[in-house]
Amino acid sequence: MYSGGHAGRDRRVDVRNYLSPLAEAREIAPKGFGSFAVTPIPMGTIIATFGGIVVNRVNFETYPLEQRSRSIQIDVNQFVLGPESREPGDSINHSCLPNCGMRNATQLIAMGPIAVGEELTYDYAMSDTSNYVEFECACRSDNCRGRVSGNDWKLPELHSRYHNMFSPYVQRKIDATRTARPLSKRDAENLMNNYDINPQQALMLALRITTGMPNASWNTLIDLCFTDKQQSELLQTLDQQSLDQLAQQLNERRTL
């Protein structure tokens, strides 16, 4: 039980995002926020953990831009939505020369030792592969990409620089780019032979080849391949005409 004299300090504050006590969030003039080391931070220290409700892309896009900017993508079609108002743990900026990386989908760790006063940053390409992450970068590092986009995770120089520092779903996407391939003649024959028996199963096997994702679910495959909301929804609900079109396209072009 609290027994100190400062009653005001006893107020419990619930936050969804954790920030290490070795750091603090500060306002940066003219209008912005950042998090800074207040003691030396050793390599591997957990810096922050992002928390909040998980929403899919369609729901995510209904929230204000400011709130979305404090959110993090954790899977192809899942986002941890930032809280309604800013918290210390959701004030970590992007840098093209970051000192933190993703330990898993929601945790940041120090990539190396961090000195007192240094700003804590990570590269949004480590976690986000959506176009809501697009802005002119002001990190002013030698590595600065200028414009940061939701496609930056594809850049080969980042793959070697951030080894083991990508969110797991981003790493799966990177690995998939190396194994994805068009269907062989035989794959296309299998697709058409099996399509009449079980259309979804036949298409799923084909899409796993073309995406390079051998374990992906139907929903993940559709989310990966179709950004058009209407088309994606028709395929998710197994609309017969849309399935037929997809099978025809894969049979003719062997890829998407």
Binding site for Zn ion (CB under 5 A): 96, 137, 139, 144
Residue closer to Zn ion, measured from CB, 129 or 220: 129
At closest approach, how far in Å is the CB of 134 from Zn ion? 13
Residue closer to Zn ion, measured from CB, 148 or 188: 148
Residue closer to Zn ion, measured from CB, 73 or 93: 93
At closest approach, how far in Å is the CB of 148 from Zn ion? 7
Residue closer to Zn ion, measured from CB, 96 or 188: 96
At closest approach, how far in Å is the CB of 70 from Zn ion? 19
d(CA 217, CA 204): 8
At closest approach, how far in Å is the CB of 60 from Zn ion? 24
At closest approach, how far in Å is the CB of 120 from Zn ion? 15
Q: Could you give the angle at the alpha carbon of 33 between the alpha carbons of 30 and 35, nearest 5°? A: 135
Residue closer to Zn ion, measured from CB, 111 or 234: 111
Decide if 135 contacts 165 (C-beta within 8 A): no
